[in-house]
Amino acid sequence: MTQITRRTVLRNSLAVAAVGSLARPFIANAAAKTATVWWTQGFVPEEDAAFKKVVEDYQKQSGNIIDYSLIPFAPLMQKIVSAITSSDVPDLISHDINDAVLVPQNAWDDKIVDATDVIEAQKDKLHPTILLGTQYYNNVSKKRGTYLIPFKTACVPLHIWSSLVEKAGFKVADAPKTWDAFWDFFKPMQPKLRETIRNVYAMGLQCTTTGPADGNNMFNQFLIANGGNSIITKDGKPHLDDPTVKEAVIKSLSYISKAYKDGYIPSGALSWNDADDNNAFHSKLFIADFDGTISTEVAIKDQAERDDVTTMGLTNGNDGKPMPAQLGIGGAFIPKGAKNIDVAKDFMKFLIQPTVINDYLKNGLGRWIPPYPDVVKNDSWWFADPHRKPYTTEALVDPTVPGYPVFNPGWAEVNAQQVWGAAEASIIRDGTEPKAAAEAAFKKIEAILAKYPIVQS
Amino acid sequence: MASASVIDVGRPVARPRSLFSRLRGGLQGTEYAWAIAFCIPYVGVFIAFVIFPVFYGLWLGHSPSLYIELFHDPIYQQTIVNTILYLAIGVNVKMFFALLLSGFFMRKGWWVKGLLMVYVLPWAVPALPTFISIHWMLNTQWGLVNNVLWDMFGIDGPGWLDTSRWLALGSVITTYIWKNMPFWTVILLAGRMAIPQELYEAAEVDGATGIRRFIHVSFPLLANLYLVCTLLSTIFTLGDFNTANFISGGGPALSTHVLATLGIRDAFEIARPQLGVAAVLSSLPLMIPLVVILMHKLRTSDVQL
């Protein structure tokens, strides 16, 4: 038996170190063709399977390797924030709220690689709102650049349990065509349904202080319906003193908080996260809600039950005119410090090809929509289903606007801080007047946006 | 004088050990090399997973502006109050009842042992599934608690976690006590079992029975253990993320956050890790004295079982 001595330990350690040093160039060379990718896990298994297929196809075609991790929504957010903070980053990151939270702030801080060259070949095909929604401001270069590589889009449609409406003696087709009146339509149904069902509510408006997205999406649509879309403009300037904006904010806060206080919204909505309202919808806790994507419909496996859900695009605004929907832009970004930028870019160039992205999103059951209007117009699949049709129409056919964080990264923090949800909660819990709650929200927004002075070119 | 005479007979004077020799701790040759080799992995792990994270955290949260921002934030102010209430009520109520119940579980009888087994279950079962179950049980519309209230008494229960800060914080604290009390009961039970029976017999001869026996015998002997347990529990609880996060989620309207959950919210939901670290570091003025007192108490030997 060989005796272990100090000399043998030292000699073997030196040998291992030497082999490691000599082998390193070859290991690095092998890794040059591999990109590390973090991707959001889908809501349904089909989305993940679709992504894996895209990766396989790319690897076959390019010879490169995509070393991917499919990570659930919340843990991925933590992983990304930690990675960027510690500068130990992957080569490519896709998160479903990249556009609203992660990219605005990190583009501002010059922590993202400009991807103008990646989207160049597809630029003309992109929906104009989506193209606008990729242009974030960089506070180091003092100009905007393409920091989000868009490959999918989504809007926020209306979801209604038709059977509950009918049970209450109404018809979905009779729903009014203006925003507040539409929501008022469900109120008289609640007492009728409660004659036989103990816990059922008219609407699932997410007046929540828990993020990340639903409460902000809902409030923003109320704001737009009341004429307040100019609260922040393309140049990144807020217009909180504009009387129209002020009035729109107060009207929106008033409607939502009154509906809650009158008992038309489940009391737990104050703390709902983005999954809670989906769960509440599935348990028929309320008749209708306004929730991003068609994830609620896609998650229902029983065809008859899925058919019971009516998916609708937006009504008109409260002035009776068509109002734009806010588009969510699903995209990826390449963080600075990534080791294999070329492979990451090459993979994204492959993914955003119209045919590739169309197949990918169709295989994912159409929860997200391609960012190219012509692709969906030329593929009847997107309009062949009663849920996809209104959803796709709202996103790519009807008027749209991008999310506010693209105009000013401070708005990402406004969203993350749930400023509107906090204002609603203050009215509901503390009895604050809507006007005072709006003023408090404006002050908070001003303080946040003051940290992000955008130089006008 | 005797010792002087020993030296006088010519025994060589012991030479003082050199610094190098003292550093080697008396180890010779390969023994010293092996000692170093065995220490390296531990030192490496300690540096990588203790020293580095602590200093990295301190570096992340070093800017005074972060603390100014925090102290001006009404949510943080509310969080400080919640954390103090959580510690003051949660830890003390838990420890007090654990002390009393440890006396109960000293009783003889097979059924007491059986009851003890059932009693420790909340501590023994995994935390997260139980917290999530309790969160669901407290759901206003379809939770078990309100459904039982409706079915048995025909009344609509309150929104436990929905609108009232105090109901939600009360739910968090109650769950915390329910989950952790069995553990400390068992610790104090072990302390009681270590008290010699003769002391009780002597006290009985002197007329100390019942509550007087507890006041004059049991409690003085348990006091040091009780204090150490309370300090340890306070330190653990200050960093407790799970209970508040999974019971109330910091709601309603961010009113029941504690420092640990607010730190995570600021770091990852608002995507400002420096602010999140600062929120957690702001507990150090409480944490450091607690650790110092704990260390001091652990060295105290005036009353030992």
Residues A219 and A81 in one domain: no
| From B93-97, B129-133, B197-201, the region with the lowest mean pLDDT | B197-201
> Over the stretch A95-140, which tens digit does the pLDDT of each residue have?
998 998 899 999 999 999 999 999 999 999 999 999 999 999 999 9
Q: Is residue B80 part of a domain?
A: yes
Residue with tokens 């108490």: B297
As a whole number of angstroms, the longest Cα–Cα distance in chain B is: 101
Q: Does B206 touch chain A if contact means CB atoms closer than 8 Å?
A: no
Residues A184 and A281 in one domain: yes
Taking the C-alpha atoms of residue A230 and residue A239, their distance in angstroms, rounded to an integer, is 7
Q: Is residue B36 part of a domain?
A: yes
CATH number of the CATH domain containing B272: 1.10.3720.10
The residue-averaged pLDDT of B202-226 equals 87
Which residue, of B42, B60, B78, is where some domain finishes?
B60
The residue-averaged pLDDT of A329-333 equals 97
Residue-level pLDDT at A26: 39
Q: Does B132 touch chain A if contact means CB atoms closer than 8 Å?
A: no
Residues A342 and A267 in one domain: no
Q: Does A312 touch chain B if contact means CB atoms closer than 8 Å?
A: no
**A186 and A193 in contact (C-beta within 8 Å)?**
no
Residues B139 and B287 in one domain: yes
Q: With a cut of 80, say whether residue A13 has pLDDT above it.
A: no
Number of domains in chain B: 2
Cα distances from B245 to residues A332, B225, B235, B267, in angstroms, run 30, 30, 18, 15
Joined together, the tokens standing for residue B75 give 């949510």
Residue-level pLDDT at B205: 86
- By Cβ distance, the residue of B162, B255, B271 closest to A105 is B271
Number of domains in chain A: 2
Nearest to A216 by CA among A412, A445, A369: A412
Q: Is residue A455 part of a domain?
A: no
Q: Is residue A58 part of a domain?
A: yes
Q: Does B267 touch chain A if contact means CB atoms closer than 8 Å?
A: yes
Residues B54 and B74 in one domain: no
Q: Is residue A213 part of a domain?
A: yes
Residue-level pLDDT at A113: 97
- By Cβ distance, the residue of A9, A101, A268 closest to B162 is A268
**B236 and B228 in contact (C-beta within 8 Å)?**
no
Asked if the Cβ–Cβ distance from B253 to A268 is below 8 Å, we say no
Q: β-pairing, A92-95 with A34-40?
A: parallel
Q: Report the share of chain A in percent with pLDDT over 70.
A: 93
> Over the stretch B56-69, which tens digit does the pLDDT of each residue have?
999 999 999 999 99
Q: Is residue A14 part of a domain?
A: no
Residues A430 and A296 in one domain: yes
Query: Mutation test of the interface with chain A: which of B140, B141, B145, choosing the one with the most A Cβ atoms within 10 A?
Result: B141
Residue type, position A68, single letter: Y
3 state SS of A237: coil
**A269 and A204 in contact (C-beta within 8 Å)?**
yes
**A99 and A405 in contact (C-beta within 8 Å)?**
yes
Q: With a cut of 70, say whether residue B13 has pLDDT above it.
A: no
- Residue A431 Rama label (left phi>0; alpha psi -120 to 50; beta): left
**A171 and A384 in contact (C-beta within 8 Å)?**
no
Q: Does B254 touch chain A if contact means CB atoms closer than 8 Å?
A: yes
3 state SS of A211: coil
Residues A140 and A198 in one domain: no
Which residue from B minimizes the CA distance to A211? B269
> Over the stretch A411-437, which tens digit does the pLDDT of each residue have?
999 999 999 999 999 999 999 999 999
Taking the C-alpha atoms of residue A431 and residue A408, their distance in angstroms, rounded to an integer, is 32
Residues B169 and B125 in one domain: yes
Residue with tokens 């004295």: B289
Joined together, the tokens standing for residue B59 give 């570096």
Residues B78 and B188 in one domain: yes
B286 CA: distance to closest CA in chain A (Å) = 27
Residues within 8 A of B (CB atoms), A 367-406 only: none
- Tell me the residue range of the domain where B21 lies: 15-60
Residue-level pLDDT at B214: 86
Residues B53 and B119 in one domain: no
CATH number of the CATH domain containing A251: 3.40.190.10
